[in-house]
């Protein structure tokens, strides 16, 4: 089988909650997502998606995907999509970095490989070991009362794990954590995610103030070194996210004993092939994981479901159903949340169909297909 064409589609998502805000005064009200379709000479198509959280959150911006695919086209066209490691090696040789451009191509080729083999991507990633996976709900930064109300509402919808967007004034963030703890029930899990928003002295003040609360602290500061300073001052479990950009940064953090959990974002590390590498290392080294992406819709959510659904359940901390946050559906049969859990598709490939009519016209098409 050979890849004959790659198409990039732009889909604009609105947020059902209208706005999503996090540290540093950042917020978004809509997202430009890129859905990438990879075509083959055997008539099998695969889909991938990358949806950056605005242009400033990580080394990615939505409009860059089309140009990146144009750049990678000559390298990818004519390749066997089922030879995923060779495909990734070739993409890395042709274009340094730009993980977010490679990620949807890689995901689409996993989709093709699964469809060709007649098995779910989860099976190819190690085995579909769960029917469904735990979800967390991200709670947009707002006043303590508003965030507590939001948690109560999503608790009623079945979520039991919550990630509060903090990383602002530490006194305000302590109030946010306390307000939310007042509406949680037994067994609920709370993560305070600063998204790199604190300096170490601010993070230290916060972890001291909530030292006796049952709360995880996620990515308090921008660098691994700053996070390590915070780590020295707390016994609260720590999650690293923004600094986990690949295998080597992950191993550096692990060797520094910097975290108890990591947040693996598929597009940040370059796709399912590389996310699986980190996932497997986490399982071997005893690090639990949130498996998700920067944002997305139906295709991203399906990719997350397959990676999470092939992860040993005891190592899966949480994952995310991004398609329940946005107001556009491109698939009639994408996995959708039920009672705070995301089903792991059992169909071949990503186990979902994409309605091409919902994608409009491609913004870029390379090759012929
Ligand atoms: Mg995070």
CA dist., res. 322 & res. 325, Å (int) = 5
Instruction: Look up the CATH superfamily of 124-343.
Output: Enolase-like C-terminal domain (3.20.20.120)
User: What is the 3 state secondary structure string of 284-334?
Assistant: HHCCEEEEECCCCCHHHHHHHHHHHCCCCHHHEEEECCHHHCECCCCCCCC
pLDDT of residue 58: 87
pLDDT tens-digit series, residues 91-149? 999 999 999 999 999 999 999 999 999 999 999 999 999 999 999 999 999 999 999 99
pTM exceeds cut of 0.85? yes
- The mean predicted confidence, pLDDT, of the chain is 97
Q: What is the mean pLDDT of residues 215-241?
A: 98
CA of 286 to the centre of ligand 1 (A): 20
CA of 14 to the centre of ligand 1 (A): 21
Three-class secondary structure of residue 13 per DSSP: strand
Active-site residue numbers?
A: 165, 265
CATH 3.20.20.120 intervals, the chain: 124-343
Contact status, residue 262 vs residue 240, Cβ threshold 8 Å: yes
User: What is the 3 state secondary structure string of 255-279?
Assistant: HCCCCCEEEEEHHHHCCHHHHHHHH
Q: What ranges make up the beta strands (E) of 51-140?
A: 132-134, 137-139
CA of 62 to the centre of ligand 1 (A): 19
pLDDT exceeds 70 at position 207: yes
pLDDT tens-digit series, residues 176-186? 999 999 999 99
CA of 252 to the centre of ligand 1 (A): 18
CA of 18 to the centre of ligand 1 (A): 20
* 3-118+354-367 is a CATH 3.30.390.10 domain: yes
CA of 239 to the centre of ligand 1 (A): 8
CATH 3.30.390.10 intervals, the chain: 3-118+354-367
């Amino acid at each position: 089988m050979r890849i004959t064409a790659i198409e990039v589609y732009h889909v604009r998502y609105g947020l059902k909650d209208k706005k999503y805000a996090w540290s540093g005064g950042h917020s978004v009200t809509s997202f430009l997502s890129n859905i990438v379709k990879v075509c083959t000479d055997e008539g099998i198509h695969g889909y991938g998606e990358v949806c950056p959280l605005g242009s400033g959150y990580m080394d990615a911006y939505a409009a860059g995907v089309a140009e990146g695919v144009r750049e990678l086209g000559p390298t990818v066209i004519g390749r066997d999509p089922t030879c995923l490691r060779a495909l990734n090696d070739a993409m890395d040789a042709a274009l340094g970095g730009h993980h977010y451009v490679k990620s949807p191509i890689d995901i689409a080729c996993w989709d093709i490989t699964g469809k060709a083999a007649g098995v779910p991507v989860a099976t190819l990633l190690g085995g579909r070991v769960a029917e469904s996976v735990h979800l967390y709900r991200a709670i947009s930064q707002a006043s303590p009362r508003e965030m507590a109300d939001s948690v109560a509402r999503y608790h009623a919808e079945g979520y039991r794990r919550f990630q509060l967007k903090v990383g602002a004034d530490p006194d305000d963030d302590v109030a946010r954590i306390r307000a939310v703890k007042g509406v949680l029930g037994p067994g609920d899990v709370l993560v305070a995610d600063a998204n790199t928003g604190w300096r170490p002295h601010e993070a230290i003040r916060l972890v001291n103030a909530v030292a006796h609360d049952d709360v995880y602290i996620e990515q308090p500061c921008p660098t691994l070194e700053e996070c390590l300073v915070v780590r020295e001052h707390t016994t609260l479990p720590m999650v690293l996210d923004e600094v986990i950009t690949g295998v080597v940064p992950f191993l550096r953090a692990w060797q520094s004993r910097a975290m108890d959990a990591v947040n693996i974002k598929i597009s940040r590390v370059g796709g399912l092939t590389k996310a699986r590498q980190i996932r497997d290392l986490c399982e071997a080294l005893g690090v639990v994981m949130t498996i998700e992406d920067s944002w997305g819709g139906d295709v991203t959510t399906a990719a997350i479901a397959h990676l999470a659904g092939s992860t040993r359940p005891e190592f899966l901390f949480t994952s995310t159903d991004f398609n329940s946050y946005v107001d556009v559906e491109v698939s009639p049969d994408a996995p959708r949340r039920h009672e705070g859990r995301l089903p792991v598709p059992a169909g071949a490939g990503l186990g979902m169909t994409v309605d091409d009519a919902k994608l409009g016209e491609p913004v870029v098409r390379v090759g012929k297909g």
